[in-house]
Amino acid sequence: MEGKKEFAEEERRCHFCQIRAFAIAQKPHCYTLAITNDVDDEWISLDFRFIEKCVLGQGVKESLAPHGYRVGCECKRDEDCATQCLCLDDLDPDNIINPKYKNAYYTAGERKGLLRYEILELSSDEIYECSDLCGCSMDCPNRVVGRGRKFNIEIFKTKDGRGFGVRAREDIRKGQFIDRYVGEIITPEEANRRRDTAKYRKDLYLFALDKFNHSQSDEQRFRGEPYEVDGEFMAGPTRFINHSCQPNLRVMAVVTDRANKHLHELCFFALEDIPRFTELTFDYVAGTSTAGDNATVAKEAKERQAKGEFTQKCLCGAKKCRGFLW
């Protein structure tokens, strides 16, 4: 079928063809993505497209940085990237939890490549990594996200009405990088248009790239509304990760191109050791004003119900479930 014009549209919509391309791109180390359903006959819509990296939507500028500003480090040895790397210069010294370590990851021992526990559990700051602009190799200790997912993953149909979910086919360690959240990067105007026309809560799939945007920012390019990533119609496997009020993953902003922070990565890391075939989850409302406040979430949801507005009951089943997503 591959390559024949009469099957071009079918091949374009084929999830197997899209996923197979991931494995080809990852050679020689191929980590699989499987889709299984042992519950019913529902499958992922053929209108959905699997992608490996973000796609820029109409009106999105790839670079907002001045010409010639995109530079990487010139570390001659990979180990230098752990302490004196140019890529770490944008870290706020006042927010570094442990002054002994600028690098976000353990660089030696059995935890090598895992996110440092103090950053995983206490920090809300962004992570800076080396990139293709740098002189270091792919073995650099500051290229964890850059090396990609390192385990086999499965999208599976849940048995309790929560649709599809995601689990790993291998044990995952606390602090391990899981994968990126990718989708179509769209302008704030387009994001609001899609919210207004959606039949249900559109924010389920929208992630704002707002780590650096602030009305009082020193840089003009960060004073406006941020771009957003929409994973509803095209995305990677993390788009199917379900919510939990007691999640085993968290999302962190990772910068691989300091000149274009407005297009930073959204990356999942494990909050705990996760046995294989355990469902992966994150908190959909983490970072909001009501995150962790069960009473407030329930009160606001009931107020919206009384007004006839849409509310979403939470089905995560956690011991400390808030009862509602929104």
In percent, the amount of the chain with pLDDT more than 90 equals 47
223-233 pLDDT, tens digit per residue, is 778 999 999 99
What mean pLDDT comes out for the span 209-221?
A: 76
pLDDT at 3 over 60: no
More confident residue, 317 or 274: 274
Name the band, by pLDDT with cuts 50, 70 and 90, for residue 83.
confident
Cβ contacts of 271 within 8 Å, gap of 6 or more: 120, 121, 174, 247, 248, 249, 250
Name the band, by pLDDT with cuts 50, 70 and 90, for residue 201.
low
What would the two tokens of residue 35 be? 């889709």
For the domain made up of 33-284, the CATH class stated in words is mainly beta
Out of 105, 205, 227, 284, the active site residue is 284
Q: Can you list the alpha helix ranges (DSSP code H) found in 77-161?
A: 117-122
pLDDT at 134: 92
Nearest to 182 by CA among 39, 78, 42, 53: 53
pLDDT at 62 over 90: no
pLDDT at 289 over 60: no
What mean pLDDT comes out for the span 190-205?
A: 82
Name the band, by pLDDT with cuts 50, 70 and 90, for residue 60.
very high
pLDDT at 32 over 70: yes
By CB atoms closer than 10 A (0-12, 13-18, 19+), residue 5 is exposed
Q: Helix, strand, or coil here: 90?
A: coil
Measured from the Cβ of residue 249, the count of other Cβ atoms closer than 10 Å reads 24
Q: Say which range, 71-85, 149-163, 165-179, 296-310, has the weakest mean pLDDT.
A: 296-310
More confident residue, 239 or 296: 239
What mean pLDDT comes out for the span 263-279?
A: 97
| Model pTM score | 0.88
Name the band, by pLDDT with cuts 50, 70 and 90, for residue 105.
very high
pLDDT at 92 over 60: yes
Out of 106, 181, 205, 227, the active site residue is 181
d(CA 104, CA 116): 6
* Domain range summary for the chain, segments of one domain joined by +: 1-30, 33-284, 286-326
**Catalytic residue list contains 200:** no
Name the band, by pLDDT with cuts 50, 70 and 90, for residue 252.
very high
Nearest to 119 by CA among 267, 241, 283: 267
Name the band, by pLDDT with cuts 50, 70 and 90, for residue 63.
confident
**Catalytic residue list contains 181:** yes
